[in-house]
Amino acid sequence: MQTVSTADVEEFGRELDKIREEVIASRGEDDARYIRRVIAVQRTLEVGGRALLFASVLPPVWLAGTAALATAKILENMEIGHNVLHGQWDWMCDPEIHSSTWEWDLVSPAGQWKHTHNHLHHTWTNVLGKDRDIGYSLMRLSPEQPWNPYYLGQPLYNAMLAPLFEWGIALHDLEIERLVSGDKSWGQAFTQFREILRKGGRQIVKDYVAFPLLAGPMFLPVLLGNLTANMTRNMWGHTVIFCGHFPDEAEVFTEDQIEGETRGEWYLRQLLGSCNLDGGPLFHLMTGNLSHQIEHHLFPDLPSNRYAEVAPRVRALCERFGLPYNSGSLLRQTATVWKRVFRLALPTPVGQSAQVDTPAPATAQAA
């Protein structure tokens, strides 16, 4: 088990606090211009994509329209919606780009998602029994999770979840396991479910009824284009998010390990439970800058366009303190995620959980 001295952990935390304070102090017009420009590009792509689909008599036009619409949906969901709802742009005091007013082009109601993602996931990142995003209550992604025969099908569950990811997230937000255990009332669940039905209903009507009907004789091409764009967005989001937390090198923690956790130890857990993706500026944009998953978990409310700027500093700190900085190509990280999904579908022999390539978490050791 890797150990880090308590003094180093706290110094690591102080250094990260300095980075955070510097970025907060330097936020300004360049950052505001960035998010407004991304929103403008996204809306242009959406309008252009839908217009092309309306005129998609020829297959190349349909492909161009579908690609433009899928790109617009990815940008809206990942670089705009996800980050706006984290409060990254609240400092601008723009009511149109604020976490309290933004509602995204996704089935999951923004308010429900903010609770399960911003509060539960980002507070309890990769803590078994606390972070419900470990396997999304659907899969076994840590050898410490008790195995049962249901998990034999998890490669299939994961393959099915990808194109339906927005629906899976919406149902995940219901916290059904808390309902079964009695920790949540049926009244609360029904209220949430009604919100999901209303939001999901609007999404269905918009993409699969209203726009196809407006297209008249192009009803079917528009319907299929919208369906393809949504499924593309879902599969891309699923891939990026799973690569951020479930490659083999991502560490999982127990509740005992985080008891009395300090600020520095919280930073350390975010680092060890997150994984980055290598790529260029366009790639980072299309991932919503979640390719900088480590930086996002260290600083979830800093503007996403600043992650590329602070990433080299975070990596240098990791080298200074002898800490891992898990980053790899999309292909590599995706392969290790699927390796984990397949391997942990099988029962782990008693006493051999360490044979799974999930490293033991680093711990703070008194100096």
Q: Which residues contact 84 (CB under 8 A, 6 or more apart)?
A: 35, 97, 98, 99, 102, 104
Q: Is 109 in contact with 199 (CB distance < 8 Å)?
A: yes
Contact 126, 275 (CB under 8 A): no
Number of domains the chain is built from: 1
pLDDT given for residue 361 in this prediction: 46
Supply the range of the domain harboring residue 212.
3-365
Written as six digits, the tokens of 161 are 């979840």
| pLDDT value of residue 356 | 38
Taking the CA of residue 127 as centre, how many other CA atoms within 13 Å lie in the half-sphere pointing to its CB?
20
- Which residues of the chain are under the pLDDT cut of 50? 1, 350-361, 366-367
Strand 276-277 and strand 327-328: the pairing is parallel
Instruction: Determine the number of helices (DSSP H) and then strands (DSSP E) in the chain.
Output: 17, 4
**What is the number of alpha carbons within 13 Å of residue 246 lying toward its C-beta?**
27
Predicted local confidence at residue 2, as pLDDT: 54
Residue 357 pLDDT: 43
> What pLDDT was estimated at residue 188?
85
CA distance 217 to 214: 9
For residue 359, the model assigns a pLDDT of 41
pLDDT at 366: 43
DSSP-derived 3-state class of residue 364: strand
What are the b/e assignments for 155-167, b being 16+ CB within 10 Å? eebbeebbbbbbb
pLDDT of residue 349: 61
Contact 132, 120 (CB under 8 A): yes
Neighbours of 348 (CB within 10 A): 19
248 neighbors 339 (Cβ within 8 angstroms): yes
- For CA atoms 361, 308, 288, 333, give the dihedral sign: negative
- Torsion angle in degrees (nearest 10) through CA of 58, 59, 60, 62: 90
Confidence at residue 248, expressed as pLDDT on a 0 to 100 scale? 85
Q: Assess contact for 334 and 344: CB atoms under 8 A.
A: no
Query: pLDDT, tens digit, for every residue of 91-136?
Result: 999 999 999 999 999 999 999 999 999 999 999 999 998 998 998 8
Q: What is the pLDDT of residue 208?
A: 98
Q: Which long-range contacts (CB under 8 A, 24 or more apart) does 174-182 make?
A: 175/116, 175/132, 176/137, 177/132, 177/137
Q: What is the pLDDT of residue 354?
A: 34
Q: Residue 139 is encoded by which pair of tokens?
A: 């899969």
Give the Å distances, CA to CA, from 247 to 175, 191, 347: 25, 35, 19
